[in-house]
Structure formats: structure tokens, C-alpha cells
Amino acid sequence: MFVAASSDCFPDLPKDEVLPTLVDLEFTAVELPIRNDSRSWITPAEVAKSPEKAVDAFRDTHRLTIAALTVEPTGVKDEYYGQFSACCKLAKALKVVPLVVPAAELGTPFNEEIERLRELVKIASLEGCLVAMRTEIGCMTEDPDTAAVLCNNVKGLGLSLDPSHYIAGPRQGRDFSKVIPYVYNVHLRDSTKSALHVRVGQGEVDYGKLLGQLEKVGYSRALTVDMPPLEGHEHRPEMRKIRLLLDSLL
């Protein structure tokens, strides 16, 4: 296992300052987004339209290893899967394996979500990539039981585990150890039952226990800090604090 950080940790910085800031904070790996917003490195449609431009967008990572890509295609059916396929080819060119994708929102028919996930896993496997579905409040994965059932029904599907969404979410207190064997990626911050994000050390995330559980199932990928700024507190010291904490546990 190794420590990484999401570029989303610094939403207020100009995009060209994010990676140098992570280097200054002594991070060695980063997770980068491919989606339709101003913080994205490139959009899924642009990846599909121009693979060469897509590779060029990730050329200068300031010596940071790309630990994973967050991929959020748009459109319906053929367009959606076409964009995802192009992102998988890009990931292969960048030598990135885990692709973090959103889970369907609550209320989505179960069979419809199974069909989507099976197609994503099939496409990703052609390029040697792994699909890691986010555990997230408001989505089908907010319940660890449902997350495990989805993975059981889609061979090769894994999770991008964010334990904060099980600590602070509507399923708080539910044992989520059953999802540990399916983890392909990890997002971390500190949380309480009433707040998704609090200062490092003031929450209920048991990092030592979590790392022990991951180690038992042979997890060897990134522990990605995914922590936006807290109003009224300096963000860089918090980022440094959580990096040092995670490094000390490895």
C-alpha cells in the first residue's frame, strides 16, 4: 500500500498549481478526474474524440505517479460506453489500472445497474483495467450489504471504499467489513456520525484497523486522501497531517 491524494483536495487552487502543491506536501501519487467540470484534466468526450490530446493532458504530472483515474462518462448507451472505452485505452497508455466510477443513485432498478456494471467491467477488462465503484451516500452503495451484492453479481467488479460514507451516512453503525474483499481503491478523510468531514484526528475513522483489514485481503494499492478544505482551518497542514499519519501506519 502507498499514500496518494486526489486532485479534488484543492478545489480553490488554479489547476496548474494542484500537482506542484501535492509535491510540496511530499505526496508521491495522485488520483486525477476525467469528467465534465472545471476541475477535470480532460472530459470523457474529448478522450473519445482525440486520444492523442488525452495522453498529452496527462503528460506533466510533476513526477507524481497516477494511482487511479476517476471516470464519469456522459450520454446514453453507445455514447456512454464509447467514452468509457476510450478512457480505458487512455488508462492503459498511462499504465493506470483502477478506474473509479460512480454508483447509480438510489431508486435505480437493480437489474439496470447490474447490466451497466457488467458492460463497464467487460470493456475495462479488454485494456487490463479494474472498475472500482464508489461507496457513496445517496447511491446504491451507501448500504454495504447492497454494495457486496452488486459485486457478487458482477464478476470482476470492485469498490472504491470511502469509509466516511458508512460512518456519517444513513447506514451508520452498520458493519462494512463485508465489502473489504472487493476493494480496488480507497478514499480517506476523517469523519463523525454527524459530519462527513472533520479535522484529522477528531473523527471516528480507525485507520489502523482499516489498514489491517485491507492487508489481510492482500490490498496493495493506493490509500487516497480525498479531503476538501474545512472552512476556518488551513488546509495544507491538515493534508500534511493525514499523510504523515498514514505513512506512520504503513
Q: pLDDT tens digits, residue range 31-77?
A: 999 999 989 999 999 999 999 999 999 989 989 999 999 999 999 88
Q: pLDDT tens digits, residue range 190-217?
A: 999 988 889 998 999 999 999 999 999 9
Q: Whole-angstrom Cα distance, residue 87 to residue 21?
A: 26
- Taking a C-beta distance cutoff of 8 angstroms, is the pair 222, 183 a contact? no
Q: How confident is the model at residue 169 (pLDDT cuts 50, 70, 90)?
A: confident
Q: What's the whole-model pTM score?
A: 0.93
Q: Which residues 6+ apart lie within 8 Å of 151 measured at CB?
A: 157, 158, 159, 179, 182
